[in-house]
Chain A
Amino acid sequence: MSTIAHADHDHHDHKPTGIKRWLFSTNHKDIGTMYLVFSLIMFFVGGSMAMIIRAELFQPGLQFVDPQFYNSMVTVHALVMIFGAVMPAGVGLANWMIPIMIGAPDMALPRMNNMSFWIMPFAFALLLGTLFMEGGGPASGWTMYPPLVLQTGKAFPYLIFAVHFLGISSIMGSINIIATVFNMRAPGMTLMRLPLFVWTWVITAFLLIASMPVLAGAVTMLLTDKYFGTSFFNAAGGGDPVLFQHIFWFFGHPEVYILALPAFGIISQIIPTFARKPLFGYASMVYATASIAILSFFVWGHHMFTVGLPITGELFFMYMTMLIAVPTGVKVFNWVATMWKGAMTFEAPMLFSIAFVILFTIGGFSGLMLGITPVDFQYHNTYFVVAHFHYVLLTGAVFALMASVYYWIPKWTGNMYDEKLAKIHFWLSTIFANILFFPQHFLGLAGMPRRIPDYSVQFTDFNMISSLGGFGYGISQLLFVYIVIKCVLGGKKATSQVWEGGRGLEWTLSSPPPYHSFTTPPKVTKTLMDY
């Protein structure tokens, strides 16, 4: 254990308590905790909307909700899961782990850190509040295409401002991460020694800074179109509704990688730990991540193959999309090569990581299918798309987040989690997630459209199976909450090392780490990650 981790330094220094500790927090660990708790709450808010959707789709015909409310469930489920659950979870992990991994005392801009967190509850109060308004919540899909979105009632300005606030929050978070990694590294922590999780987050932060303003611009234009007489997207005034789709997906595709890259980073931390081998191809992982990020700005047209792009445009976007498979393939190869001949054990973080590699790759393959222009003409707007992005985002991003919680929660709380329950949680999640989403491929290929509360009778069987998987998945996540609470309250004490194969600065600090992570900068040598 490191000598810098003496807890007795803590009481020399003012440590706020009670509500003030959280409200005015400038401590990266406390803010990280708030992000993670917020994300978990939003995961259940978004999840309960998914339960309503699956209940309605259990049988053909209209059972529980009217179509307008169904559409707003589809819309708000997506917004809550993307901006409220997955992104804040990533930022929470970044807050907790980046200073610890690079040997810094805290984040670079702690007060801005506080602001970027506290903006979010307000933004979601605006967004979720619309569900109780006259006319209901936004129901145009999370993509907010005009002219449909302009028919939104009273909820419209709340939706737009919520998106603005979330954009500001994540841009501030990104600035903080970039400044921290570039300015606050311990001596000897060169860029090419950064843990992969830190690398993927730096690249994600640049993606956010480049793409969030574009989304903010697009929704500002929607706002002025509706209330101030402009015609950016109004054909009658000389505008073009398809322009919105171009702008939105110029943001939207990088957004996919904003959700996925931190997940790649998490997996690249966990697999070496439990294979007890250094990560295979470290440098190629960094370059692959950067290539994915750059390419992600040149593929937006694959969401718009059916709007009638020029044939050269369709071919360009198709080939660029195929190109992303190369760096992604490099990553999957490196993960498998890291496990090759490793001394592997299968604790919950490793199980989730292995499931991630397999299931994310399934989502990647269905993405390649959708990226082929003529094939997309058939799949576009069907349940095949829904199956694809849920493999990428649920069995991909969310599984990586689950893995990261099991991996780092002993460090956060000082207690080991219940491994037996965690394994049960893993198997229930994996089995039910596949029952939930795999049949949706078949529904899509058979032609069932997405965002529709009713369907023809021939789709009934697969929808019933899918709904049962959905309910099972939803209920199994309560087990996760139980495991987390149990771990926070007590359990077997964790050592500072926690995992036998753990390498890196985070494992040199006590569990839980002292209030100010590194009070004197550690010296990093190139043997830090050796086995």
Chain B
Amino acid sequence: MVKKVFRNNNEMVKKRNTRFALILGLIAFSLYAGFILSFMK
């Protein structure tokens, strides 16, 4: 029963979750790096 939800959309949802994490993580990191770089002279 537990496995059922995961079996139904396991791969698709997992892939989308990972993609979300990568994109949002990248946004956060580029904000961080961009912010520091923009104040360098």
Contact = CB atoms under 8 A, between A and B. Distances in A.
B16 A217 contact: no
A183 B13 contact: yes
Contacts of A220: 32, 36
A352 B24 CA distance: 35
A209 B36 contact: no
Contacts of B24: 174-175, 178-179, 209
A109 B17 contact: yes
Contacts of A518: 5
Contact of A217 (B4, B17, B36, B41): B36
Interface in B1-41: 1-2, 4-6, 13, 16-18, 20-21, 24-25, 27-29, 31-33, 35-36, 39, 41
A212 B13 contact: no
A217 B35 contact: yes
B35 A214 contact: yes
A13 B32 contact: no
Contact of A243 (B17, B31, B39): B39
A520 B3 CA distance: 9
A217 B37 CA distance: 9
A173 B4 CA distance: 26
Interface string A157-195: 000000000000001001110110011100000000000
B36 A108 contact: no
Contact of B2 (A112, A179, A210, A519): A519
Contacts of A178: 20, 24
A360 B4 CA distance: 45
A179 B20 contact: yes
B4 A209 contact: no
B37 to A, nearest CB: 9
A221 B33 CA distance: 11
A3 to B, nearest CB: 11
Contacts of B20: 108, 175, 178-179, 182-183
A258 interface: no
Given A108-B20, A217-B36, A221-B39, A519 B28 contact: no
A52 interface: no
Contacts of B28: 171, 175, 209, 212-213
Nearest to B39: A232
B1 A520 contact: yes
Given A183-B16, A238-B41, A519 B4 contact: yes
Contacts of B5: 105, 518-521
Contacts of A216: 32
Interface in A42-77: none
B17 A213 contact: no
A509 to B, nearest CB: 15
A109 B4 contact: no
A242 B17 CA distance: 40
Contacts of A288: none
A518 B1 CA distance: 10
Contacts of B4: 519-520
Contacts of A218: 35
Contacts of A105: 2, 5-6
Interface string A492-531: 0000000000000000000000001011110000000000
A247 B35 contact: yes
A420 interface: no
A12 interface: yes
Contacts of A108: 13, 17, 20
A175 B27 CA distance: 11
Given A109-B21, A112-B21, A178-B20, 14 more contacts: A12-B1, A105-B6, A108-B13, A179-B17, A179-B21, A183-B17, A209-B31, A214-B32, A217-B31, A217-B32, A220-B32, A220-B36, A238-B41, A520-B5
6 closest A-B pairs by beta carbon, nearest first, are A213-B32, A217-B35, A213-B31, A179-B20, A108-B17, A175-B24
7 contacts: A108-B20, A183-B16, A183-B17, A213-B28, A218-B35, A519-B2, A521-B5
